[in-house]
Amino acid sequence: MSIVRGTILLLALGFAAPLAAQEASPSPVSSTVGFRALDANGDGVVSRYEYDGDIFSTLDADHDKRLSAAELDAVLGRLAKDGPSASERIVVADLDRDGQLDENELRHAAEMRFTSMDRDSDGNLDEAEFAAGFGVRVR
What the chain holds in terms of domains, given with CATH numbers, is 3-133 (1.10.238)
Taking the C-alpha atoms of residue 105 and residue 109, their distance in angstroms, rounded to an integer, is 6
Rounded CA gap, 44 and 40, in Å?
Answer: 9
pLDDT in tens, the chain (139 residues): 566 666 666 666 666 543 334 344 444 567 888 888 888 899 999 999 888 777 788 788 899 999 998 888 777 665 556 667 777 878 888 999 999 999 999 889 888 889 989 999 999 999 999 988 876 765 5
C-alpha–C-alpha distance, residues 62 and 117, integer Å: 31
